[in-house]
Each structure stands twice: as C-alpha cells, then as structure tokens.
Structure 1
Amino acid sequence: MKKRNFILLCVLGFSLAMLIASCSFKPDNLIAIGSKNSTEQLVLGELLAQHIEANTNLKVARKLNLGDTFVAHNALTNGEIDAYVEYTGTAFTAILKNEPINNPQEVYQLTKQKYEQKFSLEVMPPLGFNNTFAIVIRGEDARKLQVQTISQVAPKTPLWRAGFADEFLERKDGFPGLAETYNLRFAEPPKAMDLKLIYPALKDKQVDLVAGNSTDGQIGRFDLAVLKDDRLFFPPYQAVPIVRQQTLEKHPELREVLEQLSGKISAQEMQRLNFQVEAKERDVQQVVQQFLQSKGLIKK
C-alpha cells in the first residue's frame, strides 16, 4: 500500500512539474518589449514592437507601463523583457551611480561599455533625440517675471512650491544636485507627485515649478515655459534601445532591425507623438503606425 502511494505521488509530482513547465514555456520566436510608465515610453515601446513585427518573423509580447526606471531595468536584467528604451543620462547616473557629466558621446560610450560588462546588455545606437529633464513654470509667470533660465528663477523660489516625481527627488541628476547647483529653496518641501499629474497641478496653481521632460506634449498644450539649464547641470539623455545580449545572440536579425531606427526621431517629432496621445487622446498603436509609415519603415 505504501509503495502504491509512493508511486502515485511520484506520478502526480511529475505531472505537476510538466504542467508548470508547459505554462512557462516561451516560444523560440517570441520576444518581450517593455516600457516605463509615461506616455513617451508607451509610444517608444509600441514603436519597437511594431517595427520588429513588420521587419522580422518574430512575435512580440508587449509588457508596457511596467513602472519607473528601476522596475524596467530589473525586468530587463532578470529576463522578464528582452528590450526597452532607456535614456543615456538616466542609465549613467541612476543605474550606474555615476556623477553627471555633459559630453553626450562620452556618456553613451561609458554607458554602453558598463552595461555590457555588468549586465550583459547591449546599448543600441541613439534614436535621434535628447529628452532632457525640463524645469517648467507657467508661461504667464515667465512672461510677467521676464525669466528664461533656472538661475533667474532661483531667487524667487523661497516663495514658490515645487512638485516632482519620486524618482526625480532621489536621483543624483535630480532634485538634490539641481538644488545645490542653483541654490534652490522653496516655501515648503517639494511635493512628491505622479509624473502624469505634474502639469495639471502646475496649470491649476497647486505648485509653481515642476520637473518634466523636454519632449512632453503637454508643455505647449498648457502654455508652459521650459527654463534653460544655464549652468549645464543635466547630463545628456539620448533615447537608446537596450537589449539583452542573450536575445541578440538568439535572434541576430534583431540587431539590424533596431539599428534601422537610429537617428529616425527628432525631439520635435517625439513631442508631436506625445501630444497626439496626450492631448488628442489618439490610440498609441495608430499614432506609432502612421509615424513608422511616414518614415518608410513599415508598409502602408
């Protein structure tokens, strides 16, 4: 009786193991594309996915809107996704923990080298635009005070309130370094806000200064003003696809296809894409499809 029960348990255990293995099986021609949790990241994730689908025999699983930089990076290193778009300055400072530097080519090369050595990740050529952090105030305030730079605004900030995303509050290339560089002091500690809420909060005068991104579509929509980083605090943030080397070895055609996107998106084009999704509330897939068609990267 004991022997029969033992055999039965072995059979059940084997069946369960086979069931788990079949559920977690990933087809050879399937790759996963991820993104962080912003409009631009959703657009860029969809752009990679559509371009790969149109120009290879690979199937793409979309794992978009994962979270912040660290969530997306961890998903890439642990194999949950095969690729996503990152920004060189973010990779260099937030992930690699370096002090910010301003030379775009140096930041790119150092990031590429370290990502390969530390994480077995390939940093692909830049997509063509630099999405730097943008310190933003209301357009009406910029005109009234006749200010264009962060230095000009700094003496006025003790009477102002600021709103920043959690990540910006913690990063070396974020608020701590910015405040030290420009001697920024506010009426109260900056509010930690969801990135999607900062522009409505600025427009509605809940805060007076925020940190966004230079390609955000809502800057023009809400009549906002981007202040010039006149002390060159922020490093370059070139948008680059980052891919697992293991994935590139398995699917070598992926390298050529992703390299086709190099230099194809200007900052103005990226801002327009974001605007179409945010302000016009158009479908991300449709916006991306039309853009890729306009560039001759996929067929109409």
Structure 2
Amino acid sequence: MINLSWERSPSSIIYYHLGSKHNSDMKKRDFILLCVLGFSLAMLIASCSVKPDNLIAIGSKNFTEQLVLGEILAQHIEANTNLKVQRKLNLGDTFACHQALINGKIDAYVEYTGAAFSAILQNEPISNPQEVYQLTQQKYEQNFNLELMPPLGFNNPFAIMIRGEDARGLQVQTISQVAQKTPLWRAGFADEFLERKDGFPGLAKTYNLQFAEPPKVMDSQLIYSALKNRKVDLVAGHSTDGQIGRFDLAILQDDRLFFPPYQAVPIIRQQTLAKHPELREVLQQLSGKISEPEIKRLNFQVEGEKRELKQVVQQFLQSKGLIT
C-alpha cells in the first residue's frame, strides 16, 4: 500500500510523502526522463546554432524596394550556385540591417551608398557619386570586413514630396521655393530620416525649413497615404517608390544639392566570400542590370498592383537572361 501523509512545511506549502519504494522508483524515472529531455534540448540547440555550409542568409530593409532587391539577390544566387538562400527580409532600417550583417545574422543585403556614407560612417554628405562609393568601399573593408560590390545601376535618393495639386497650384518645383511656405505646413518623416546626417537636421539647416509644428514621426509605409489624405503637407520618401505616381505626388528638386548619391550596391561579408568565392562573380553579374525606370516598375508591380513578389522578380531576372 502507498503510505500517503500530508504535512505543512515552514513556508506553509502543503506537500506529501509517498512510501519509500514507490518514491525511489519515481525518482529513478524522473532522473531518466530529465536526462533524455536534457540531451534532446542540447541537440536541438546545437542543430539551430550551426548553419549548414551551403546556406547563406540574405536580408533587406523594411520597404517594398528593399524586399524586391533582397529577392533579386536570393533568386539570382539560387539559380547560379549550389547554395541555398535563407530569406531574412524586412529586417528594419539601415542600422538594423548593418548590425545584422556585422553580427553574421545575414551574409548580404543591398544598401545605398549615401546611407552607408552618411548614416553608418557618419560623414557629412557630399555629391560626387564615385567619391562616395570609393570612400565607403574603403572604410567598410577596413572597419567592418565588408565588401561593396559594383552598383546595380540605379540611384535612389531621398525625395522631398508634396501633393501634386499643391505643386501645380503654387507653381513650385524646388525645395527652396517650398521653404517659403512651410511655416504654415506640417511635415511627416520616418524615424530614421529624423536622425541621420543626410536627413532632416541637415536638410532643415540647408534650406532653413520651419514648420507649424514639430515633424510627425511616421512609419515609412504610411507617409504617402498621410500626405494624400492631408494629414501632413510634406514628406521625405525615396525617388523610386512605386506609390509616387499612384498618389499624384510631386518630387521637389534638391536645388542646393544637399542629398548625396544613393547608388544601390550589394554588400557582403568578406568571411562569406572567402567561404563561397563563387558569390563574387555571381553578384558582379547584377552590375548595371537595374535601371531607375525598371526598379520603379518593379516597385509598382509589387506595391501598386499587389503582384506576388517572387513572381515579379523571377520574370524580371528571366527578361535579363540572368536565370532560366
């Protein structure tokens, strides 16, 4: 028979004792079970922490064009190497993707030279595209063991935008012209734009921009609809975004040349290139293959027409003869 007795411990927690033989058997079973579970957990952790030799991770920032570019890298690598690609798209802003690359959470992603030069390297914006590329390439190699591949073929600078009807009604085309109107306007910017050297602080100083109230911090995916719906009067976006034409927005000319060039370039860990040298040639094959009209069209197909990302990218790469 089982000897079951109840007692109250000093901490007033009620517990019970089982007979000695039954209790001993239970302890043995519990010990064996714990050993099995512990071994299983250790094996699971080990399997998760070791990345297979033929697997690389491709990342992207958190807006449509970046998803397109990440998928372009992924499909092109899968089609032209024996590597498998883990997609880690929509990671966040410039700083999040850079940190993921440094930490080895991803092996490559597409960055813009102006963002790398001003946001990551903390340089004051300059306007010479080749100088920005070369200086960024040099510092990324020295400071981070990262390699900039050749540009993909298009430039995607920050773009200051207002509603098309406002631009036509006020007959304004430049940021300087709009600066005379902004004391009565409201602005909306993504958080990253408010922080970067090539963002709002430098822009406001260059053009003496003042607004009726402090700029609203907005999600980068919502700024265009906010502008269209008159929640704000001026926003900063990207010149190749697919929604610009869809919402009838006007890009203002940067007449004082504040913004640096933003050439789209794949960035990859040198450790990854050393392990998979074939990636160098494969990524170089994308050099100059994407024009500004083409990236705008791809962005609109995904964001405006709501087409499936992988299909849009596959058709584009096939049209370029990069995959079959």
Per-residue CA deviations over 1:84-120 (Å, capped at 9, x if unaligned) read 0000000001001111111000000000000011110
Alpha-carbon displacement from aligned partner over 1:100-142 (angstroms, at most 9, x marks no partner): 1110000000000000111100110000000000000000001
2:266 maps to 241
Query: What corresponds to 1:168 in structure 2?
Result: 193
Match of 1:46 among 71, 75, 86: 71
Of the candidates 50, 55, 68, which is equivalent to residue 80 of structure 2? 55
Aligned to 2:224: 199
| TM-score scaled by length of structure 2 | 0.88
- In structure 2, the residue matched to 1:28 is 53
Query: Which residue is equivalent to 1:289?
Result: 314
- Write the mapping of 1:81-120 to structure 2, written as runs, cut at 5 A: 81-120=106-145
Using the alignment, how far apart are the partners of 2:152 and 2:300 within structure 1? 19
Equivalent residue of 2:318, what SS?
helix
Q: What code does the residue aligned with 1:107 have?
A: V
- Distance of 1:208 and 1:16 partners within structure 2: 55
Corresponding letter in the other structure for 1:23: C
2:92 corresponds in structure 1 to 67
Partner of 1:186: 211
CA shift for structure 1 position 297 = 0.5
% same residue: 83
Asked if 1:259 is matched to 2:259, the reply is no
Q: Out of 245, 253, 257, which is 1:228 matched to?
A: 253
Q: Secondary structure at the match of 1:136?
A: strand
Mark the CA change 1:17 to 1:222 in structure 2 (over 3 Å): closer, same or farther. Answer: same
RMSD of Structure 2 on Structure 1 (CA): 1.7
SS at match of 1:153: helix
State the 1:22 CA deviation.
Answer: 2.0
Distance 1:53 1:128 in 2: 21
What corresponds to 1:142 in structure 2? 167
Query: Matched residues in 1 for 2:127 and 2:133: separation?
Result: 11
Residues of 2 paired with 1:10 and 1:252: CA distance? 43
C-alpha separation between the residues in 2 aligned to 1:81 and 1:247?
Answer: 10
Residue 23 of structure 1 and its aligned partner are, at CA, apart by: 2.5
Match of 1:80 in 2: 105
Structure 1 residue runs of 5 or longer lacking an equivalent are none
Distance in 2 (CA, whole Å) between partners of 1:23 and 1:88 is: 34
Residues in 2 aligned to 1:191 and 1:12: alpha-carbon distance in whole angstroms: 51
**Cα deviation, residue 10, structure 1:** 9.4
- Distance (whole Å) between structure 1 residues aligned to residue 167 and residue 312 of structure 2: 32
Distance, in Å, in 1 between the alignment partners of 2:36 and 2:316 is 54
For this pair of structures, how many residues does the alignment match? 295
Matched to 1:117, the amino acid is: Q
CA distance in 2, matches of 1:249, 1:282: 37
Residue 230 of structure 1 aligns with an amino acid whose one-letter code is D
> What amino acid maps onto 1:105 in structure 2?
Q
Which secondary structure does the structure 1 equivalent of 2:79 belong to? helix
Q: Distance in 2 between matches of 1:13 and 1:110?
A: 51
Could you say which structure has the greater relative contact order, defined with CA pairs below 8 angstroms and 6 or more residues apart? 1
> Which residue identity lines up with residue 154 of structure 1 in the other structure?
A
Residue 245 of structure 2 aligns to a residue whose secondary structure is: helix
Q: Aligned in 2, Cα 1:298/1:184: closer, same or farther, shift over 3 Å?
A: same
Give CA deviations for 1:214-258 in whole Å, capped at 9, x if unaligned.
000111111110000000000000000000000000000000000
1:126-177 CA distance string (max 9 Å, x none): 0000000000000000101111100011000001100000000111100000
Asked whether 1:157 is paired with 2:182, we answer yes
Q: Which has the larger radius of gyration?
A: 2
Q: Which residue in 1 is equivalent to 2:9?
A: none
Q: Which amino acid aligns with 1:254?
A: L
